[in-house]
Amino acid sequence: MFKGVMFDFSGTLLRIESTEEWLGAVLAAAGISLTDEEFAHRVQRLTEYGALPGGSAPRHLPRRLEAMWHERDLSADQHRLAYTALAREAGLPELAQALYERHMTPAAWRPYPDTEPTLRELRRRGFPAVVVSNIGWDLRPVFRAHGLDDLVDAYLLSFELGAQKPDPAIFRAACDRLGLAPADVLMVGDNRIADGGAQDIGCTLHFVDHLPVDQRPCGLAPVLRLLQSS
């Protein structure tokens, strides 16, 4: 019988804005105008190099950045260095820092339509919920800005723990924070490799699709059904 829930962050509870919106916001703030062709080219390059944190993985990753990429979520410095390096590789060295800063703002993130109702219903039923994320910065202000922080009992963030999913250590820490045995905890995420690590310590898994917000109105609905039937 489940007694608590672990949730991934990006692609599970909230989704980062599109690369077009991300770049557009930074250009607007800097007062930079581009032609449609120039803008489309830069979006394509940023996408190719996976420079948007929370977005798609790089399609082209220079060998010298491979180690940095794979360990990017272990510290704040590594995370910033990895993503600003990718933005520079994409041909936007002058905007690399501004692009990185933008992705950490609440305006860059949108909750899925059923995120708040699901978390609120868990709270009503007495199920504690924690967020377990591979990330290089403090996402708590994002949750506060979207009115979700009071519905989360704890945050287990890789850069604070020095361990990143699928390392069992981060999931054990989350279960300890919940005060529950792994067998009593449901892990909800979108990445079968990273989030799948929870299974190694005995948690049950439920996966959602990492889709744009307007294409996944009720992806979390099965979570409540699973808890009810357990």
Partners of 129 in the β-ladder: 5
| Start-to-end Cα distance in the chain | 5
Residue type, 154: A
Tell me which of 107, 130, 155 is where a domain ends: 107
Q: What is the pLDDT of residue 229?
A: 78
Q: What is the pLDDT of residue 81?
A: 98
Same domain, 11 and 42: no
State the average pLDDT over residues 40-57.
97
Token duo for residue 168:
């069992």
Same domain, 129 and 223: yes
Kind and range of the H or E run holding 131 = strand 129-133
Q: What is the pLDDT of residue 173?
A: 98
Same domain, 73 and 137: no
48 — pLDDT class (breaks 50, 70, 90):
very high
What is the CATH classification number for the domain harbouring 206?
3.40.50.1000
Same domain, 100 and 130: no
Residues 158-177 have pLDDT tens digits of 999 999 999 999 999 999 99
Q: Taking the alpha carbons of 87, 91, 94, 99 in that order, is the dihedral positive or negative?
A: negative
Domain count, the chain: 2
Rounded Cα distance, 50 and 62, in Å: 11
Same domain, 103 and 143: no
Same domain, 201 and 142: yes
Same domain, 35 and 115: no
Q: What is the pLDDT of residue 68?
A: 95
Same domain, 166 and 62: no
Same domain, 202 and 142: yes
Same domain, 197 and 97: no
Contacting residues for 41 by C-beta, under 8 A, at least 6 apart? none
Residue type, 172: R
146 and 109 in contact (C-beta within 8 Å)?
yes
Token duo for residue 120:
């609120």
Residues 198-221 have pLDDT tens digits of 999 999 999 999 999 999 999 999
The alpha carbon of 80 is separated from its chain's Cα centroid by a whole number of angstroms, namely 15
Tell me which of 55, 74, 107 is where a domain ends: 107
Q: What is the pLDDT of residue 22?
A: 98
Q: Please provide the average confidence, as pLDDT, over all residues in the chain.
A: 97
Rounded Cα distance, 139 and 149, in Å: 10
Q: What is the pLDDT of residue 208?
A: 97
Same domain, 166 and 93: no
Residues 96-153 have pLDDT tens digits of 999 999 999 999 999 999 999 999 999 999 999 999 999 999 999 999 999 999 999 9
Domain ranges, residue 166: 4-15+109-229
Rounded Cα distance, 154 and 140, in Å: 10
Tell me which of 72, 88, 107 is where a domain ends: 107
Same domain, 138 and 207: yes
Kind and range of the H or E run holding 187 = strand 185-189
Q: What is the pLDDT of residue 47?
A: 98
Residue 41: CB atoms within 10 A of its CB come to: 13
Among the listed residues 122, 206, 197, the one whose alpha carbon sits nearest the alpha carbon of residue 156? 197
Is 90 exceeded by the pLDDT of residue 27?
yes
Q: What is the pLDDT of residue 1?
A: 85
